[in-house]
Structure 1
Amino acid sequence: MLALQAAVVSHGRLGPAATAFASELATRLGCARVAVGFVEDRFSRVVAVSHGTLGDGPTESLRAIATAMDEAIEQAATVLSPALPELPPRIVLAHEELVRRDGGTVCSIPIAVGGELVGAVSLHFRQGGVPIEAPQLADWEHAVALVGPVLHFMRHGERPWRKRLRDRLRRGWAWLRSPSGSRARIAVAALLVALAVLLALPFDYRVGGNARVEGAIQRVLVAPVDGFLKRSEVRPGDRVRAGQVLAELAEQDLQLERNKWSSELAQHENAYAAAMARADRAQLVISQAKAAEARAQLDLVDEQLGRIRIEAPFDGVVIRGDLSQSLGAPVQRGDVLLTVAPRERFRVIVEVDERDIAGVKVGQGGTLALSALPWDTLPLVVTRITPMAAAVEGRNVFEVEASLPSQPESLRPGLRGVAKIVVGQAPLAWAWTHRLIDWARLGVWSWLGH
């Protein structure tokens, strides 16, 4: 057996290794011919013959040897013709035909690998040779069982991948049909059902992204005049009523300016009266014009004094502007001081990726999950789609505005979360893979474009 193994492993390919094995076995057993064959497409095919090479195609003799190998493989046992009386009876039609052709004694021993019969070794002894005994058959079977798998794996490594895959599928199918594959059949059936659901059954397809809650109306309150901040009555988060004073500017500068223009107005009125008494028409017109200018400036200062108190335009909540730490600080006309939003009217801004914006339409519904309320989802309805994209964290997104039909008491402007918009129905397999397919399609298009 060591000599047979050495003859096989000294070659790197199946043909020379099988020929060396057959030749070594024929020499040691005194056989006229030893042939090695393997099952190919459910029938045996001779791959090597001792002390010789195979021809270009199967000859009549090789077909007869392969048929005898098939006979032994089908019975999963060693077949000998003429048979020994002490051995169990076997079907020996193909072996008897081979004996009639070539004479002598023919013995076929199957090659088993992993419980599967993959080939056979055919031994042909000359007529009148040493009689064969049952212990000898056992030794030959041991030799084939030892060397046959080595030849099988060499053959398996040389086969094209298509044939190897086909064999694996065939063996897997045979195992599934066997009694031991009942659990596997159940698993495969469940897998096929799941695959059918993924590929055929449509589900709601949702797109979306990060979302934030804002007031439906945001009123910005600015400094009406240049001055200094005198007091602040509210901070962000405070609820306010319409007309409530939120902040106040210092009025000292405006009062001084009012006194200035009041004094100038009195001077111009006195000059006007004196010119009228003198009947000085030119001075009368000049004094009248300067008095009108001073009166207009005085009205402007009075208007500014009336606006130094910043009041809430409607019932709502302060969402931006903490002035408590800026008391006494100078402010300029137009500086943003506070932002007020309605208390019960909100909108949701959803950042939808540019790859998904084509499916979003006004009127579509969805859900909103806020970080502050992770277990509660709020329904939303798309009301507007911003036509321009914006870069957010390295991505191009479109801002989609949505309304909230139901608004809980705990809702506050500035809350953030994730929103999903139902844009249609599609199989789950498509929903999970379409982005990858689109990316690959775009990559192929870009590559072919160059």
Structure 2
Amino acid sequence: MQSARGVSDVGERSLSALHRSSRAEVPNARFEQEFFGELRTLFGAEAVAVWFCPGNETLYLRHQQNLPTEELQRSPEEWQRHGRLLKQVVEVGKPRFVPPEWSADDAGNPTSLEILIAPAAVVGTQQVLLEVFRPRGRRNPAIDGPAELELLARAAEFAADRTRMGQLAGAARERLQLKSRDSFAQRIHSTLDPRKVAYIAANEGRDALGCDRVSVALGRGRSVRLAAVSGQPKPDRRANQVRLLESLVREVVAAGEPVVYGPGTRQAPDRAAHWLTAYLTDAKPATLFVIPMRGESGKRGIGALIVEQFDNQLTPEALVDGVNQTAAHTSLALQNALAHDRVFLGSIRRRIGTFFAETIRLRTLITLALLAAIVTAMIIVPWPLRMEGRGTLRADLRRGVFAPESGVVREVLVRHGDRVHAGQILARIENPELVLKLQEAREQLVSTSESLKLKQVQLSDRNLSPQKAIEVDGEIAQLNERRLNLNLQVSLLEQRIEPLTVRAPMNGVVATWQPERQLLNRPVNAGNLLLQIIEPEGAWTMELNVPESAAGYVLEAWRTRPEGSRLRVDYILATDPERRYRGWLSEISPRTEIQGDKHAVLMNVVPDPDDPPPLRDGAEVRGRILCGERPMGYIALREIIEFGHSRILFLF
């Protein structure tokens, strides 16, 4: 009776919370946080684990929180004893309490914690095991022993329901994936180009498997390289993850044995163990397959298929069949492509054969004539060379208003767009620490002055002994010196407090947007920018950041321009991209600046007074500087020509 009452009064609320957190639509991260958290509270547990038994001798760790792996894996024998304990619970089919460090019949609890285990059926012979670890003797006083096991068994049923629903959803996904795999099988064998085969295997293989990422490596021996990564046009060979993955793949291809990694699963050849650990530490996949692919003879490696999942939604057992099928199709397609590609001068002969197989007709001659005319025009016809830069439109006359001291802005007396005059109060900053120091200094000054007066009166006493007069005279000297120091301290504090009443440094307009909202009652540090004051009636300048690769053409045109002339700049504003304005280059910075991750040269452009833009401080500008004329072909292929000079010809 007590047990039933304990379950109804204490456990029902927890069971309700466990049921809500174990529903199939709850993400794994939230499931582990809420479901395990409720179990730990209910049973006073330190660790919780969920195991899945697919109906054979293998157990998979699906979820865990604070699992005492150090005690469980202290030695292979202890890990095996714990596994046999779990299998015994599966065979018996009833929940079980296991005391700390208990063992019998090669099964046992190698930890110093009590273990409660409850099984629950999923489908057929599949079962879920819910395992709870707690310190010796810790109990929930409202629940007795049998009630604990009953509650744990019901919680295990919730976990089994979640697994069952996940399998049903997985079956639906698998039906969709079967269609994707059929399409994948057709596409993978539609080309004899090894690179295209790798690209199709990576991108369409990911869709067919429903995983997060698929990669394909090609080559043999130490020359295995990553050829394609799903979702990327080209692998970044300089990336640390790519280098680690290539090192792992080389060892797997050389060993000829696959890598299978996932929750509770780690299978890898010994020679690849180091690189597997390094890659797992860097990339952190939840599930990883590296399947080596062999040539026609079955002896020579031609590459590998890499499949990754970064969450626990797809386990190795859920992916293994699809991965093996995908690897088989990819391996066969690569064998055919490589065999076709190894034909001597095969690619050149195919192109020549295709060219001569087509009849040269009139339209072909016309096309060739047009191409010749285009090439001639690109060599002969001049075209304006314009270098592009981006920047902002700014008023030349501008001043920033900075916080003189740390404090809290208590008053903001201006708004955006207000016209102010030099010396006008803009804001007031409060620094209680300075005010307190000033008050203390003034009080000490008054006290010192009073003490000085008393000592002076005492010194004027004719009955004062010579010895005492000397002492009093010395005290007066000390008090005078202290009074001077306090006067200086008061003066310095007053000088620091006075600028807390922030004043305008010049006549102009407040350019800061909603200053009261940004500053009022907010702490500031000395030197923080509070407001921007600009004079919109004065001159305006555009500051363009021209990439360093384009700045050379501008500098050359600037140096060779006729005396007294300027370089024309056509620009548009981001607020009105359809309207083009004209300006003139006025100044070029003598140094290169770093803008983000690129180098750029700062150039000032003055708007043409006959073609003024709408004046808006900080407006984004895109300008093109006219740098003379060049052949049309040079302008069209400028970046390719520069690449050839800097990356190819420079090496010779």
- Cα deviations across residues 384-432 of structure 1 (Å, max 9, x unaligned)? 225224254x544333333335384731221112111122221222211
Shift of 1:298: 1.6
Contact 2:511 2:533 in 1 (8 A): yes
Pick from 330, 342, 345: which aligns with 2:523?
Answer: 330
Aligned to 2:548: 354
| 1:121-270 correspondence runs (5 A) | 192=373, 198-250=378-430, 254-270=434-450
Quote the Cα distance in structure 2 between the aligned partners of 1:370 and 1:417: 5
Contact 2:389 2:622 in 1 (8 A): yes
Shift of 1:295: 1.0
The answer to whether residue 494 in structure 2 is matched with residue 314 in structure 1 is no
| 1:32-431 correspondence runs (5 A) | 192=373, 198-250=378-430, 254-277=434-457, 278=459, 280-320=472-512, 322-343=515-536, 344-361=538-555, 364-374=567-577, 375-385=579-589, 387-392=591-596, 395-406=598-609, 408=612, 410-431=614-635
Quote the Cα distance in structure 2 between the aligned partners of 1:405 and 1:296: 56
Contact 2:402 2:530 in 1 (8 A): yes
Aligned to 2:133: none
Tell me the matched-pair count. 276
Query: Which SS does the other structure have where 1:360 is aligned?
Result: helix
Pick from 640, 644, 649: which aligns with 1:436?
Answer: 640
Contact 1:382 1:401 in 2 (8 A): yes
- Cα deviations across residues 326-385 of structure 1 (Å, max 9, x unaligned)? 422333333332233332333322222222111223553312211123213131314122
Contact 2:542 2:621 in 1 (8 A): no
In structure 2, what residue type is equivalent to 1:355? S
TM-score by length of 1: 0.52
Contact 1:323 1:337 in 2 (8 A): no
Contact 2:548 2:592 in 1 (8 A): no
Quote the Cα distance in structure 1 between the aligned partners of 2:447 and 2:492: 19
In structure 1, what residue type is equivalent to 2:648? V
In structure 1, what residue type is equivalent to 2:456? M
Query: Per the alignment, do residues 220 and 262 of structure 1 end up closer, same or farther by CA in structure 2, a change over 3 Å counting?
Result: same
CA RMSD of aligned residues (A): 3.9
In structure 1, what residue type is equivalent to 2:491? D
Shift of 1:288: 1.1
Aligned to 2:38: none
Shift of 1:313: 1.1
Query: Per the alignment, do residues 395 and 271 of structure 1 end up closer, same or farther by CA in structure 2, a change over 3 Å counting?
Result: closer
Shift of 1:441: 4.0
Query: Which SS does the other structure have where 1:297 is aligned?
Result: helix
Shift of 1:214: 2.9
Quote the Cα distance in structure 1 between the aligned partners of 2:452 and 2:528: 41
Query: Per the alignment, do residues 240 and 402 of structure 1 end up closer, same or farther by CA in structure 2, a change over 3 Å counting?
Result: same
Query: Per the alignment, do residues 330 and 435 of structure 1 end up closer, same or farther by CA in structure 2, a change over 3 Å counting?
Result: closer
Query: Which SS does the other structure have where 1:355 is aligned?
Result: helix
Query: Per the alignment, do residues 409 and 213 of structure 1 end up closer, same or farther by CA in structure 2, a change over 3 Å counting?
Result: closer
Quote the Cα distance in structure 1 between the aligned partners of 2:422 and 2:580: 32
Where structure 2 has 5 or more consecutive residues not aligned to the other structure, the ranges are 1-348, 461-471, 559-565
In structure 2, what residue type is equivalent to 1:357? A
Q: What percentage of residue pairs aligned between the two structures are identical? A: 19
Contact 1:386 1:400 in 2 (8 A): no
Where structure 1 has 5 or more consecutive residues not aligned to the other structure, the ranges are 1-156, 177-183
Quote the Cα distance in structure 1 between the aligned partners of 2:575 and 2:582: 12
- Cα deviations across residues 27-85 of structure 1 (Å, max 9, x unaligned)? xxxxxxxxxxxxxxxxxxxxxxxxxxxxxxxxxxxxxxxxxxxxxxxxxxxxxxxxxxx
Aligned to 1:121: none
Query: Per the alignment, do residues 390 and 236 of structure 1 end up closer, same or farther by CA in structure 2, a change over 3 Å counting?
Result: farther
Contact 1:320 1:338 in 2 (8 A): yes
Query: Per the alignment, do residues 328 and 435 of structure 1 end up closer, same or farther by CA in structure 2, a change over 3 Å counting?
Result: closer
Shift of 1:210: 1.9
Quote the Cα distance in structure 2 between the aligned partners of 1:241 and 1:373: 32
Quote the Cα distance in structure 2 between the aligned partners of 1:391 and 1:259: 48
More helix by share: 2
TM-score by length of 2: 0.37
Contact 1:232 1:324 in 2 (8 A): no
In structure 1, what residue type is equivalent to 2:396? A
Shift of 1:435: 1.7
Query: Per the alignment, do residues 431 and 324 of structure 1 end up closer, same or farther by CA in structure 2, a change over 3 Å counting?
Result: same
Shift of 1:264: 2.0
Shift of 1:252: 6.2
Query: Per the alignment, do residues 240 and 208 of structure 1 end up closer, same or farther by CA in structure 2, a change over 3 Å counting?
Result: farther
Shift of 1:164: 7.1
Shift of 1:442: 3.8
Quote the Cα distance in structure 2 between the aligned partners of 1:233 and 1:203: 55
Quote the Cα distance in structure 1 between the aligned partners of 2:612 and 2:448: 63
- Cα deviations across residues 285-331 of structure 1 (Å, max 9, x unaligned)? 21111111111122123223321221221233334463425422333
Quote the Cα distance in structure 2 between the aligned partners of 1:402 and 1:190: 40
Contact 1:207 1:420 in 2 (8 A): yes
Query: Per the alignment, do residues 305 and 390 of structure 1 end up closer, same or farther by CA in structure 2, a change over 3 Å counting?
Result: closer
Contact 2:395 2:540 in 1 (8 A): yes
Query: Which SS does the other structure have where 1:383 is aligned?
Result: strand
Contact 1:264 1:294 in 2 (8 A): yes
Shift of 1:207: 0.3
In structure 1, what residue type is equivalent to 2:521? G
Contact 1:383 1:403 in 2 (8 A): no
Query: Which SS does the other structure have where 2:474 is aligned?
Result: helix
Query: Which SS does the other structure have where 1:356 is aligned?
Result: helix
Query: Per the alignment, do residues 325 and 436 of structure 1 end up closer, same or farther by CA in structure 2, a change over 3 Å counting?
Result: closer
415-424 or 434-443, larger mean C-alpha shift: 434-443
Larger radius of gyration: 1
Query: Which SS does the other structure have where 1:313 is aligned?
Result: coil
